[in-house]
Chain A
Amino acid sequence: MIAGAASAEGASRAVFRLAESHLWRLVTTPYAITETVRNLAEFPPQATATWLQLRSQLLIVDDVLTIDKPAVFPVEKDRPILFGALASADVLLTLDRVDFRRVIGSRFYGLEIITPGMWLSREREAGRLDRV
């Protein structure tokens, strides 16, 4: 969401742009929104203005802070992101290759964790995406 707001030329913004026409439902949590708003302070004001527009496309579901499954995930701050996605989504899109390095490109209890670019590429290869 940070990258989607900060750059019009990235895969993240493309996911927002293409979501409605491709019937992708974009889901987030209050925790992720707080994180986005806090970090957008590092960018020019236009990024926050864009974020307010992108935000209207998001379905906001409750934060999930614990799960009833064993979860060995070293970064405490990313657990709400991971658990929220596990509860409400099929795929978690993230650019955070540092904190999610052990799980990116793989699955967490069936939840796929990939980058926005990997998502677009996969949809393209599957013939579900004509133009980006």
Chain B
Amino acid sequence: MVTLADIEAAAVSLSPAEKQELMLFLASRLRAEGAMPPEPHVFSADEMSRWIEEDEADLRRVREQQ
């Protein structure tokens, strides 16, 4: 089994160019793994009712502008 300590020890022996390549590899892996979409929002019924009331009030205001 390879441990993090083994990997760190091996990384120390790499050339500067190889270290940079390793860093870019790790950055790309982290970015890919972090790019999963979060679970969508589940809004409360109250929150959505409030939006709809505001949305309807907004339309009435726009109509009154006419």
Contact = CB atoms under 8 A, between A and B. Distances in A.
Pairs of residues from A and B, 3 with the lowest C-beta to C-beta distance, nearest first: A117-B58, A10-B55, A35-B40
The binding surface of chain B is classed by DSSP as helix
Interface residues of B, number: 27
Given A98-B47, A121-B65, A78 B55 contact: no
Interface of A: 2-3, 6-7, 9-12, 14, 31, 34-35, 38-39, 42-43, 63, 65-66, 76-80, 95-99, 115-118, 120-121, 124-125, 130-132
Interface in B17-65: 31, 34-43, 45, 47-48, 51-52, 54-59, 61-63, 65
B15 interface: no
A132 B59 contact: yes
B61 A3 contact: no
